A and B are shown apart, each in its own frame.
Chain A
Amino acid sequence: DTAVSQTPKYLVTQMGNDKSIKCEQNLGHDTMYWYKQDSKKFLKIMFSYNNKELIINETVPNRFSPKSPDKAHLNLHINSLELGDSAVYFCASSRSVYTQYFGPGTRLTVL
């Protein structure tokens, strides 16, 4: 049983394209997150949603737009992709401030 799942696992695309990454959790958690891990493996939070409401938005370009259709899903849409967007994107979920559970990651490569 996959607790936090992401699709796709790999995404290769051209500069300027628009792409989406989907995330789903079956843990019944109320809070979901998106993180970016850069080429130096540094992990940094991008967004956090609690009960479908955006609660954290770190200085992320507005080309990135999270969407939470319900508490179990948090999708990430990226417009006009740039080379610097290449990274591994992780989705995570938690019950409030407790242990966060991470998805397997989506490796995005922008050519």
Chain B
Amino acid sequence: KQEVTQIPAALSVPEGENLVLNCSFTDSAIYNLQWFRQDPGKGLTSLLLIQSSQREQTSGRLNASLDKSSGRSTLYIAASQPGDSATYLCAVRTNSGGSNYKLTFGKGTLLTVNP
């Protein structure tokens, strides 16, 4: 059974700092990994998706890396801004039988960027 862990559970940083969020998963047989952002009372917004054959993906100030063999992914946020404050969720997609796949989520990291 796939389990996804995110560390730390909460992180508070001053504006402008670079930061790293960590995600680990127990079953390395993943199809891909997706990072999401969730604002309070809102739905999830997809940030980056990394295929299992890829090592990293970049979008603006965000960079996600994947080390499938060790079951780890990191989300790097450069030059953090107060608007980055949100909960960041990591999810891995694994085969659930036949050609069906499902996402398993971590519990998220609550990020607060202080002005």
| A residues with CB within 8 A of B | 4, 40-45, 48, 50, 55-56, 58, 90, 92, 97-105
Residue numbers in A under 8 Å from B72 (CB-CB)? none
Residue numbers in A under 8 Å from B34 (CB-CB)? 99-100
Residue numbers in A under 8 Å from B103 (CB-CB)? 45, 100
Residue numbers in A under 8 Å from B44 (CB-CB)? 43, 90, 92, 102
Query: Nearest Cβ in chain B — how far from A96, in angstroms?
Result: 8
Pick the contact of B100: A42, A55, A102, A105 (CB < 8 A).
A55
Q: CA A88 – CA B102 in complex, angstroms? A: 19
If A56-B96, A56-B102, A105-B42 touch, whether A97 touches B108 (CB-CB below 8 Å) is: no
Residue numbers in A under 8 Å from B108 (CB-CB)? 41
Pick the contact of B102: A48, A90, A102 (CB < 8 A).
A48
- Contacting pair A45 B42 (CB below 8 A): no
Query: Nearest Cβ in chain B — how far from A101, in angstroms?
Result: 7
21 residue pairs A–B, Cβ–Cβ below 8 Å: A41-B87, A43-B89, A43-B105, A48-B100, A48-B102, A50-B100, A56-B96, A56-B102, A90-B44, A97-B31, A97-B32, A97-B101, A99-B34, A99-B49, A100-B34, A100-B103, A101-B46, A102-B43, A102-B46, A105-B41, A105-B43
Query: Nearest Cβ in chain A — how far from B109, in angstroms?
Result: 11
Name 6 extra pairs, CB < 8 A, besides A56-B102, A97-B93, A101-B46.
Answer: A41-B108, A43-B89, A48-B102, A58-B102, A90-B43, A99-B34
Residue numbers in B under 8 Å from A55 (CB-CB)? 100
Residue numbers in A under 8 Å from B87 (CB-CB)? 41
Pick the contact of A40: B96, B102, B107 (CB < 8 A).
B107
Q: CA A41 – CA B109 in complex, angstroms? A: 11
Q: CA A23 – CA B101 in complex, angstroms? A: 21
Name the residue among B32, B100, B103 with the largest chain A CB count within 10 angstroms: B103
